[in-house]
Structure 1
Amino acid sequence: MGNSKSGVVSREVLDDLKVSTRFSEAEITQWYENFQKQCPSGRITPAQFEEIYGRFFPDSDAKTYAQHVFRSFDTNDDGTLDFKEYIVALHMTSSGKMALKLEWAFSLFDVDKNGYITKNEVFEICQAIFKMIPKEKQEMLPSDENTSEKRADKLWGFFGKGENERVAEGEFVKGVMENEDALRLIQCEPLK
């Protein structure tokens, strides 16, 4: 990453992030300083990420979901997140653009990173999402989505695919954008 130990984000990384995220230089520099304080090694490990994520979902089991989120952010597959991956992930998940968020959601559901989503992958992520819903909230869910299996079946149904078919990124983005229920089923917002 360049100057990860010096306390100053490299010009190359700064310029790249300004273009790819549209964040300002001041924002990136401030986030870099905070990142360095929290992660002096310049890297976030999966365990650190799980701990951070767990703080946002104190009444739930966020570990499995955090592992999937981490995998989707670790774009170079080195088992850690560097500052650049962290900022790009922050941009993708916080950007106001729904299509960008759904592209990230696709990468979350694409567990094997082959460019397609299968029903088994939808089920795996729905299981992780379901674990994050507090028990008392699970009891209030509609009967067709009150288990991870039912949620996965319902979500898969929105794509109009058979059991052994697969969904490409464009189909996923379009299918979720066109259906409010599908959008709700893929989201896992922290409790306020």
Structure 2
Amino acid sequence: MGNAKSSAMSKEILEDLKLNTKFTQTELTQWYENFQKQCPSGRITPEEFESIYARFFPDSDTKTYAHHVFRSFDTNDDGTLDFKEYIIALHMTSSGKMSLKLEWAFSLFDVDKNGYITKSEVAEICQALFKLIPVDEQSRLPEDENTPEKRANKLWAYFNKGDNEKLAEGEFIQGVLDNENALRLIQYQPLEK
């Protein structure tokens, strides 16, 4: 009887995900079946997540960035991602709503999960982001953002905060919405060839 339960998604989780994501019951059921095949334990470990992430950026060093993305998705801090965390993460990062993406971006930059971002946290994420950028693309970046330090300084400047001040979620979201360049700096988009 225990096996039957573990191979099917609970009604509570299904209803919760239907309410809180853009996915249909059919999509969620398909996602769940695939998730169970890929992760028979029902959980994704940080190492499995890093491996998945590396497939999307084969020419990049994804380990550090994947670690931060994983941390931002592991909402219950148990060191793994269950199906619900995985789907919520997928929804937040793929949803068309900019506000959802920026809420997730804030959680990514909030390394210590204290509800604020500091300049050193911005620097840490910029360092990880920079490793995603292939070396040939790094050489084509604008002069004021061609190192992780310059990128972090440029991004922090958009928020009008001193080096030792903190940035709240609302300030982060508004700062990015008010400046297209800030949005570009918080993510990695491959350059057009």
Q: Give the shorter-chain TM-score range.
A: over 0.9
Compared CA separation, residues 7 and 153, structure 1 to 2 (3 A): same
Distance in 2, matches of 1:6 and 1:106, equals 33
Matched, 1:66 2:66: yes
Compared CA separation, residues 79 and 4, structure 1 to 2 (3 A): farther
Structure-2 residue corresponding to 1:81: 81
Question: Following superposition, which runs of at least 4 residues in structure 1 exceed 4 angstroms of deviation?
Answer: 2-5
Q: How far off is 1:149 after superposition?
A: 0.1
Which runs of 5 or more structure 1 residues have no equivalent in the other structure? none
Distance in 2, matches of 1:67 and 1:184, equals 21
Distance in 2, matches of 1:181 and 1:142, equals 12
Distance in 2, matches of 1:20 and 1:59, equals 34
Retained in 2: the 8 A contact 1:68–1:108?
A: yes
User: What secondary structure does 1:126 align onto?
Assistant: helix
Structure-2 residue corresponding to 1:96: 96
User: What secondary structure does 2:51 align onto?
Assistant: helix
Structure-1 residue corresponding to 2:54: 54
Distance in 1, matches of 2:85 and 2:60, equals 26
Aligned length: 191
Q: How far off is 1:4 after superposition?
A: 8.7
* Identical pairs, percent: 75
Distance in 2, matches of 1:191 and 1:34, equals 32
1:135-146 to structure 2, matched below 5 A, reads 135-146=135-146
Distance in 2, matches of 1:190 and 1:74, equals 27
Which runs of 5 or more structure 2 residues have no equivalent in the other structure? none
Compared CA separation, residues 190 and 30, structure 1 to 2 (3 A): farther
Q: How far off is 1:187 after superposition?
A: 1.0
**Paired amino acid for 2:119:** K
Compared CA separation, residues 72 and 51, structure 1 to 2 (3 A): same
Q: How far off is 1:53 after superposition?
A: 0.2
